[in-house]
Structure 1
Amino acid sequence: MKHLVSALTAVLACGGAAAQGKPDMGKFLATGGVSQVEGAGGGGITPWALISGYGTRDSWGANAHTTRLATQDYKLDSYGVAMGIADRLEISLANQEFKGSLAPLNLLNIKQDILGVKVKVAGDAVYEQDSWMPQVAIGMLYKRNKGVGGLGTLGVSNVMQLGARDDHGYDYYVAATKILFEQSLLLNGTLRATRANQMGLLGFGGDKGDSLRLMPEVSMAYLVNRKLAVGAEYRRKPHNLGVDNEKAYYDAFVAWFPSKNFSLTAAYAELGDITVFNPKKQHGLYLSAQAGF
């Protein structure tokens, strides 16, 4: 946390002038990534070291996204905004809403707000093609669960009544991203320290564990052409709750970038079990649209 605050202070001091200029849209197409389901720039389920927006080191950029992930029995909607400053600092805000559709959780409704900060600390994924050094960024996501709706008849209105220790918490991560233009590849590895249950939708910590645990996340994308990318992601998660047999997430995606102002991402996602009340693997379609400048 101390290193993140120091880096953030330095970027704000150096990038203040850049933030006052007009967006220059100077970065290469697709090099800002898309909006991750928690609001950060990256893939669909894991943050990358890339900074959101198309502003260069002399400018800034911003975008807004809306995302829906629908499985057999649940729906997750996410929307939010992100800003990249001087291609060094990213600030994001997102809201998630999780709903059930199968009894006894057919009325389930859980909302969560997420504030994200990411700082590039080393390397450049685009311009350092003669080096194997990846772009490296550190980040933090602060998440606050807004309660459990639809389960009043069961006497449940808060995630702590499901066994979680807290209804708010932090994720800390370091991400390394390398773009290999000659091979048309993007490679990313992220290491996240977290105690979140299902990204925080079911709270933080629980009867099976309450400490920060390091969880690996990986992504790979192949650039079919300048406007189209296909790839896959994997995200491991902790298992803290007895009522939730939590498993890893993974997906296969297609991302289309018709212009720097708009992108569309579609994916097939596997989410594993969600709760013991509906013990079957959840899988379905992910669709996300992003507009920016």
Structure 2
Amino acid sequence: MKHKQILVALVSATILFTTPALAGSRLLATSGVTQLEGGAGGGLTPWAVISGYGDEGEASVGAFYTSVDVQDFRLKVNGVSASYDNRYEISAAQQSFELKGVAGDLRQEVYGAKYRLYGDAIYTDLPQVSAGLQYKRLIDGDIAEAVGAEDSDSGLDYYVSATKVHLAAAGGYHFLWNATLRATKANQMGLLGYGGDDNNGYKIMPEFSALVLLSDSLAVGAEYRKKPDNLGAFKEDSFRDMFIAWFPNKHVNLTLAYAELGSIAASEDQNGLYFSLTSWFK
């Protein structure tokens, strides 16, 4: 995303801060924030919640921008998502991965779909459970091919997520947990291709999130995302973060996090700032 586009997004968000809340029937913050691959959830991992605030018979449409800036790399993601009936979700995102000091970016498109199978994160005793998939198309595959990826064009992730909110369960504050199992071949989320010389089959990777709602509009929490280690050339570490998310109204949410991404392409200890903005237009 160019600087002008970022400015337009931020100005739009500023205007939205001063407008009345949307008519969507769901409670504030039940949209989650936007995950790096475009779906509703935490920053690193998808949740079972459906994007936006639409409930039965209602639709939501939104857009987002995310930036992760670590020592040697910068990841920028922008995209859109839409949902209907608090059951169906689709999303599209473009990731741009910059190697600082090197001309050119690695770019990947991600198209997602999610379906709520049963339950409600708040109102049912059992957690809300959703199933989803993410189709990933690598636009710039030369580096992925050079480092030994089996497929430098495209890949498909499948996941199942369970999300539950326990009201007033943490010292009087609401507590949310999410657990996701992802079947994937992706190297660094697909930015280095899919599969490799060490492993070319699907692996089941666990992902976890937990947060406490300090108020109706403010949450703090942490996430963990296990990732496959398919390439003999490079070690791949798990992702972690600690975040704070603010939901001033149903138009917008802001997330700020400290992200620990570990080793990326032989560069160790890639830690830094995560920022994400999501705006809901309907």
Q: TM-score, normalised by structure 2?
A: 0.88
Contact 1:24/1:60 (8 A) holds in 2: no
> Which of 198, 221, 232 is the equivalent residue of 1:208?
198
Alignment partner of 1:257 is 2:219? no
Alignment partner of 1:165 is 2:150? yes
Structure 1: 5+ residue runs without aligned partners? Answer: 1-22, 149-156
Structural RMSD (CA) = 1.1
Hey, what does 1:283 align to over in structure 2? 271
Contact 2:143/2:192 (8 A) holds in 1: no
What is the CA–CA distance in structure 2 between the aligned matches of 1:107 and 1:208, rounded to whole Å? 29
Hey, what does 1:134 align to over in structure 2? 127
Alignment partner of 1:80 is 2:66? no
What is the CA–CA distance in structure 2 between the aligned matches of 1:223 and 1:158, rounded to whole Å? 42
Partner amino acid for 2:175? L
Partner amino acid for 1:164? A
- Report the 3-state secondary structure (helix = DSSP H, G, I; strand = E; otherwise coil) of the residue aligned with 1:127: coil
Hey, what does 2:136 align to over in structure 1? 143
What is the CA–CA distance in structure 2 between the aligned matches of 1:93 and 1:204, rounded to whole Å? 19
- Report the 3-state secondary structure (helix = DSSP H, G, I; strand = E; otherwise coil) of the residue aligned with 1:181: strand
What is the CA–CA distance in structure 2 between the aligned matches of 1:182 and 1:137, rounded to whole Å? 24
> Which of 117, 120, 129 is the equivalent residue of 1:121?
117
Structure 2: 5+ residue runs without aligned partners? Answer: 1-21
Contact 2:55/2:86 (8 A) holds in 1: yes
Hey, what does 2:106 align to over in structure 1? 110
- Report the 3-state secondary structure (helix = DSSP H, G, I; strand = E; otherwise coil) of the residue aligned with 1:160: helix
The runs of at least 4 consecutive aligned structure 1 residues that moved more than 3 Å come to none
Alignment partner of 1:268 is 2:258? yes
Q: Which has the higher contact order (CA 8 A, sep 6+)?
A: 2
Hey, what does 1:8 align to over in structure 2? none
> Which of 240, 244, 261 is the equivalent residue of 2:230?
240
1:33-56 per-residue CA deviation (whole Å, 9 max, x = no partner) reads: 011010010000000000001001
Contact 1:24/1:56 (8 A) holds in 2: no
What is the CA–CA distance in structure 2 between the aligned matches of 1:72 and 1:158, rounded to whole Å? 20
Hey, what does 1:151 align to over in structure 2? none
**Count, aligned residues:** 255
Hey, what does 2:177 align to over in structure 1? 187
Hey, what does 2:15 align to over in structure 1? none
Q: CA deviation at 1:107?
A: 2.5
Note the 1:46-85 alignment, pairs <5 A.
Answer: 46-85=45-84
Identity of aligned residues (%): 46
Contact 1:24/1:59 (8 A) holds in 2: no
Partner amino acid for 1:118? K
Alignment partner of 1:176 is 2:172? no
What is the CA–CA distance in structure 2 between the aligned matches of 1:158 and 1:89, rounded to whole Å? 35
Partner amino acid for 1:142? Y
What is the CA–CA distance in structure 2 between the aligned matches of 1:158 and 1:225, rounded to whole Å? 45
1:61-82 per-residue CA deviation (whole Å, 9 max, x = no partner) reads: 1110000000011000000101
- Report the 3-state secondary structure (helix = DSSP H, G, I; strand = E; otherwise coil) of the residue aligned with 1:210: coil
